[in-house]
Chain A
Amino acid sequence: MERHIKMYTENLDFFYGNSQALHDISIDFDENRVTALIGPSGCGKSTYLRCLNRMNDLIPNIKVKGRAMLDKKDIYDPSLDVVTLRRRVGMVFQKPNPFPKSIFENIAYGLKVNGVKDKAEITRIVEKSLKQAAIWDEVKDRLNESALGLSGGQQQRLCIARALAVAPEVLLMDEPASALDPIATQKIEELIAELSSRLTIIIVTHNMQQAARVSDRTAFFYLGKLIELNDTDTLFTKPELKQTEDYITGRFG
């Protein structure tokens, strides 16, 4: 099958002030596939993820070198509109972070800031997004209640629905299940499998079983460097490098 690359980085370096957090990272991400980024805490995988929608721009004194491309356009090109980029490359965070607004407003927010004014259209997309995130049945009777009244797992699926509402092409997920119990985690993983048929998903995870279950390809990070990138099956069964094997078998990390 011919591969279609949605997004890639080439020799990406990243600096917080003078300390270099990422060294020469080159990864390509296939369209409508799930790529997992694994590695011990502090290895730079979240920093890398946040380079892909320029979320790191919010931090002062950062510097990015190398290239990060979305559909063959450089996302760090000064002429690129970062607001449009972030609409196309959505993000789900580690801790559920719903707005302190109603469930409906949480989803409608992204549509409103992206210029959707038609109320019927907003209502339609809110319902569609909640259904896609497999939370519609749980919240359909309480759309006007505060999102903060939901459980952690429900909040996280709400956040996924919120990200889906603006129809992103790529979805970045930063340890989306790390704050959730096993049942909620399973629901999120099923959701990822379901979404991957029409979305490019890049997921950071601490949990190697999770990476093995949900992803097509896996990248192993260590100390800000990309150690190994391979098909998930290969990486977990026949890793090329000793370092990768040590990590996935739990000998360090």
Chain B
Amino acid sequence: MKRQHIDKGVHSGFFLIALFSITALFLIMVFLFIESIPVFDHITIKEFIFGKYWYPTDDPADFGILALITGSVCVTLLSGMIAIPLGIMTAVYLAEIAPPKVAQIVKPVVELMASMPSVVIGFFAIVVVAPFIQKVFNIPVGLNMFNASLMLAFMAIPTICSISEDAVFCVPSALKEASFALGATHFETIIKVIIPAALSGICTAVILGLSRAIGETMVVLMAAGGAAMIPGSIFDPVRPLPATIAAEMAEAAFGSEHYHALFAIGLVLFGFTFIFNLVADYISYKFRQTGEASL
């Protein structure tokens, strides 16, 4: 009897703790909604999302976040263009080509890079990368979309590489052998058999890596230049969504229109990361293989 009581107690304990953490997260989400809704008394959703001008302190203020969304999207896309090929190729190298001893050392190192504090990366962007970009491309300012994208790419690479490596490593060796037995080279096997078979894991890796990039605040705050305008080239400064919130929240008067607008930006950002995660889930479900050759 006594053992059963202990067991019940343990069950309830875990239930309460799980309930607490889930409720807390849910309440944060509710709070985000409640705090952002008042801004739509002053401005329609369409004006908010598609408005080109963000002048929150002017009179009358402009709360159009199109430039901020564009900034976030451009920075994320550009960092994706850098991080996806590098991350996946590194993963393929580690899982398929590198001697086991090299892979054993390099993989943990790549994963450790994910633990680099973002403020350090931002600092590096300002002190080292910005002057370098200024000199190489002969432009007046080094803090711009390109710099921020580069830094975000290096933050996304460990995630993309590590998860893709797991996916590539898990491709059944029976498939590799089948390909070799038909007279395929190692390269053909990688491109036509291994990567397609690992695609579900690789897509998940890419999306998780990019959702880290789109939500990242400190690096874009420090390195992106901070101008709320729609960029014309990759060397223009931008002001992504998270950087806007971080930079202005301290100055926005509590309960003001600006304050609620910043919460609404948070809501938009939440929408982005939420969609990213949904897509990741969907892709890993859709490409999941079944049968003998399953992953």
Q: Which residues of A contact B (CB under 8 A)?
A: 53, 55, 58, 60, 83-84, 86-87, 90-91, 93, 95-101, 109-110, 112-114, 148-149, 152, 155, 159, 162-163, 166
Q: Which residues of B contact A (CB under 8 A)?
A: 100, 172-185, 188, 192-193, 196-197, 289-293
Given contacts A109-B193, A113-B188, A149-B291, 9 further A-B contacts (CB under 8 A): A55-B180, A83-B184, A83-B185, A90-B182, A91-B181, A93-B174, A93-B177, A93-B178, A155-B292
Top 6 A-B residue pairs of the complex, sorted by shortest distance between their CB atoms = A87-B183, A148-B291, A110-B182, A97-B174, A91-B181, A113-B184
Contact A84 B174 (CB under 8 A): no
Contact A60 B100 (CB under 8 A): yes
Which chain B residue shows the least CB distance to A113?
B184
Give which listed residue, B100, B174, B176, contacts A95 with CB less than 8 A: B174
Complex A-B: 25 CB contacts under 8 Å: A53-B181, A55-B181, A83-B184, A84-B183, A86-B183, A91-B177, A93-B177, A93-B178, A95-B174, A95-B292, A97-B292, A98-B292, A99-B179, A99-B193, A100-B175, A109-B192, A113-B179, A113-B182, A113-B183, A148-B290, A148-B292, A148-B293, A152-B292, A159-B178, A163-B181
Residue from A58, A60, A87, A97 with most neighbouring chain B CB atoms (10 Å): A97
Q: How far is the CB of B45 from chain A (nearest CB, A)?
A: 43
B174 CB contacts on chain A under 8 angstroms:
93, 95, 97
Which chain A residue shows the least CB distance to B291?
A148
Which chain B residue shows the least CB distance to A86?
B183
A93 CB contacts on chain B under 8 angstroms:
174, 177-178, 181
B197 CB contacts on chain A under 8 angstroms:
99-100
Total A-B residue contacts, Cβ distance less than 8 Å: 86
A152 CB contacts on chain B under 8 angstroms:
292
| CA A163 to CA B182, docked complex, whole Å | 7
Q: How far is the CB of B152 from chain A (nearest CB, A)?
A: 33
Give which listed residue, B172, B175, B180, contacts A86 with CB less than 8 A: B180
| CA A40 to CA B141, docked complex, whole Å | 74
| CA A84 to CA B181, docked complex, whole Å | 10
Contact B177 A101 (CB under 8 A): no
Contact B293 A86 (CB under 8 A): no
Which chain B residue shows the least CB distance to A97?
B174
B183 CB contacts on chain A under 8 angstroms:
83-84, 86-87, 110, 113-114, 166
Q: How far is the CB of A111 from chain B (nearest CB, A)?
A: 9
| CA A83 to CA B174, docked complex, whole Å | 17
A53 CB contacts on chain B under 8 angstroms:
181
Q: How far is the CB of B207 from chain A (nearest CB, A)?
A: 21
Known A-B contacts A83-B183, A91-B181, A110-B183; A99 and B175 likewise in contact (beta carbons under 8 Å)? yes
Give which listed residue, A55, A97, A110, A114, contacts B293 with CB less than 8 A: A97
Q: How far is the CB of A61 from chain B (nearest CB, A)?
A: 10
Contact B182 A58 (CB under 8 A): no
| CA A162 to CA B290, docked complex, whole Å | 20
Q: How far is the CB of A15 from chain B (nearest CB, A)?
A: 19
Give which listed residue, A97, A112, A114, contacts B178 with CB less than 8 A: A97
Contact B185 A97 (CB under 8 A): no
| CA A114 to CA B172, docked complex, whole Å | 23
| CA A159 to CA B290, docked complex, whole Å | 17
| CA A166 to CA B180, docked complex, whole Å | 12
Which chain A residue shows the least CB distance to B176?
A58
Contact B184 A100 (CB under 8 A): no
Which chain B residue shows the least CB distance to A114?
B183
Contact B182 A97 (CB under 8 A): no
| CA A76 to CA B290, docked complex, whole Å | 38
| CA A98 to CA B175, docked complex, whole Å | 7
Residue from B175, B180, B183, B290 with most neighbouring chain A CB atoms (10 Å): B183
